[in-house]
Amino acid sequence: MVARMAGTFPTLRITRDDFVPEGSFAETQATYLRPDPTIVAELDRLLTEKKIGVVAHYYMDPELQGVLAACDWPHVGVSDSLVMAARGIEMAKAGCRTIVVLGVDFMSENARAMLDAAGFEGTPVYRVAADPIGCSLAESAEAQAYGAYLMEAKEHPNPLHVVYINTSLATKAKAHALVPTITCTSSNVVQTILQAASQIDGVNVFFGPDTYMGHNLQAMFEALAKMDDEAIRAIHPDHDRETIRGLLERYHYFREGTCIVHHMFGEEVVERVREEYADAFVTAHLEVPGEMFALGLEKQRHGDGVVGSTSNILAFITEKVEAAAEAGEEGTLRFVLGTEAGMITPIVREVQRILNAHDAKCDAEIVFPVASEAVAETADPSLPIVPGVQGGEGCSTAGGCATCPYMKMNTLDALLDLCRRVEVAPGADLAPFEPKKYVERIDGQTAAELGGEPILHMRHFQQNGALPEALVEDVKARGSRASGPGARAES
Q: What is the pLDDT of residues 190-249, one digit of tens each?
A: 899 999 999 999 999 999 888 877 887 888 899 889 888 998 998 899 999 999 999 999
Residue-wise pLDDT tens digits, 253-301: 988 755 444 445 556 778 888 888 999 999 987 766 667 778 888 898 8
Asked whether the predicted pLDDT for residue 146 surpasses 70, the reply is yes
Q: What is the pLDDT of residue 287?
A: 63
The residue-averaged pLDDT of 169-182 equals: 91
- Please, which pLDDT band fits residue 141 given cuts at 50, 70 and 90? low
Q: What is the pLDDT of residue 145?
A: 86
The residue-averaged pLDDT of 341-348 equals: 75
Q: Which is nearest to 283 in space by CA: 223, 213, 337?
A: 337
Residue 385: which H helix or E strand, with range?
strand 385-387
Residue-wise pLDDT tens digits, 362-406: 999 988 876 544 444 444 443 333 333 333 333 333 333 445 566
Q: What is the pLDDT of residue 384?
A: 37
> For residues 169 and 113, what is the distance between their CA atoms, to the nearest angstrom?
9
- Please, which pLDDT band fits residue 410 given cuts at 50, 70 and 90? confident
Q: Please tell me which residue, 298 or 331, carries the higher pLDDT value.
A: 331
Q: Which is nearest to 458 in space by CA: 249, 23, 105, 163?
A: 163
- Please, which pLDDT band fits residue 111 given cuts at 50, 70 and 90? confident
Q: What is the pLDDT of residue 138?
A: 62
> For residues 172 and 183, what is the distance between their CA atoms, to the nearest angstrom?
8
Q: What is the pLDDT of residue 322?
A: 96
| Mean pLDDT for all residues in the chain | 81
Q: Which range has the worst mean pLDDT, 20-29, 104-113, 179-188, 250-259?
A: 20-29
> For residues 380 and 384, what is the distance between their CA atoms, to the nearest angstrom?
5
Q: Please tell me which residue, 419 or 130, carries the higher pLDDT value.
A: 419
462: burial class by Cβ within 10 Å (0-12, 13-18, 19+)?
middle
